[in-house]
Each structure stands twice: as structure tokens, then as C-alpha cells.
Structure 1
């Protein structure tokens, strides 16, 4: 049995997909970025006239994306401690990984899900980080 969920607090998906989908005992979150709901603003990002990134604050984006993950988990009936696997997409591994890793560690002190971090050339919106999460929530 599958069931999809959408948060009324997390940013709207940028495509035709739910915030999360429960399949069996697992909850799969669609890619989560640091955007703000009902706004074109992206925490920590300054855009140019053509929508290009002029500057960004990876620390602010990290906190925003982790907040959005929590909002989606809660709207789906899950908890932070249910996370079992996280894939991190960064657009600048060289400059941003150390900062991200430090912030990530502050959110996962006792509970530590598996994690993979990869660098990508770009993300669908002008952001520097996106998370793909899987939670175990039982039957």
C-alpha cells in the first residue's frame, strides 16, 4: 500500500510529485531544498536580474533545508529519528562540504542515519544544496 503526503509548511514541489510517499514501512522524501513556502525567496541566496546566483550563504541554506526536511517528516507522520538514509547534493563540494558537514553533525548527534554526499553541476532551482531522504516508519 502506498500513500503520498504534502506539507502545508514546506516549500511547494517544483514539479508533479508529492513531498513524500509511504511505501511499506518506508517513507521516501522527494528532493528537498532550502526554498521558502509561498515565496520566491531562497534563504541565503542573492539572485541577479536573469535569476542567476550572484552569491549564496551555504550555512543559511543548510539550516533551511534541514528545517524543510523536518516539516515534511512531521506532515507525513514521521520523526527526525526515523531517518535511515540521506543523499546530499552539493553544487560546490570543494567550498561547501566542510561547512555542511559541521552543521549536519549538529543536527545528528545521537541519531546518525547513513549518508552519501555528491557534487552536482546544478539543481532544478538556484540553490546550492538538496537532500534526498528515506525514513523507516514501520507498517
Structure 2
């Protein structure tokens, strides 16, 4: 199957040898999105603001791929501190108000740039 690389200036550029997203067939796979504002380069550290920024970055990649959050089938959330779970859910829930996708949410030892959250998704076209 053909792979198509997704690249948008509306989400932070890759900080390593990877693409923001890849389209394969009818699926879009995003790389994990740190809460970096693509305009200012600021890494958000407040968990609610950070969750919103990571979701906005994911949304921008999906839109560049010709799809949207409505077509997300699986989300993975990586947290620096699982005690932030309720705050993340509060913000995350505003993006998926009906028929939310399947999801994993785990605490990890460390994230790039010492971020508080990273979010990746799989969506259909």
C-alpha cells in the first residue's frame, strides 16, 4: 500500500526522524503530539492547557490529511502523572462529545522535552 506523509505548519514540526502523520489506505496515523504551540514554540505545562494544545495539534494534522476528529477510532494518551487523569478527561471530553473513540491512557516514566502529556490517534479518511 502507498504511504503518504502528512505535514502541516498548524502543528509542531517533528523533533526527530518521524512524520507528523501518515496516510495508508483509508487510515490516518498521527505521531504523538506534545503540547507545543506551533506558532510560538511554547511547551504548555498546565495539564488542561496542555491537553487542549495536544488535541489542537492532532486536529490540525487530521485536517491536513482530509479528515477530522469525528473519524478518530483510537486514541492513546501518555501522561507524566496519572493523577492528572480527571483534568485530562475534562478537556478531552469536549473534543469527543458523541461516540468517543477507543482509548488507552497510561502514565509513562518520561516524555520528550519533559512534557506533561502526549496524544496520538488513528482515524479513518
- TM-score class, shorter-chain normalisation, is over 0.9
In structure 2, stretches of 5+ residues that fail to align are none
Work out whether residues 93 and 119 of structure 1, in 8 Å CA contact, stay in contact via their aligned partners in 2.
Answer: yes
TM-score, L = length of structure 2:
0.93
- The equivalent residue for 2:65 is 76
Work out whether residues 30 and 122 of structure 2, in 8 Å CA contact, stay in contact via their aligned partners in 1.
Answer: yes
**1:45-56 maps to which residues of 2 (within 5 A)?**
45=45
- The equivalent residue for 1:104 is 92
- The equivalent residue for 1:128 is 116
Query: Over alpha carbons, which structure has the higher Rg?
Result: 1
- The equivalent residue for 2:104 is 116
In structure 1, stretches of 5+ residues that fail to align are 46-56
Relative to its length, the structure with more helix (as a share) is 2
Runs of 4+ in 1 over 3 A off after TM superposition: none
2:54 and 2:41 map into 1 onto residues whose CA distance is 15
Q: CA deviation at 1:111?
A: 3.4
2:95 and 2:41 map into 1 onto residues whose CA distance is 26
TM-score, L = length of structure 1:
0.84
2:38 and 2:94 map into 1 onto residues whose CA distance is 24
- The equivalent residue for 1:4 is 5
1:10 and 1:80 map into 2 onto residues whose CA distance is 15
Q: CA deviation at 1:38?
A: 5.2
CA RMSD of aligned residues (A): 1.2
Work out whether residues 7 and 76 of structure 1, in 8 Å CA contact, stay in contact via their aligned partners in 2.
Answer: no
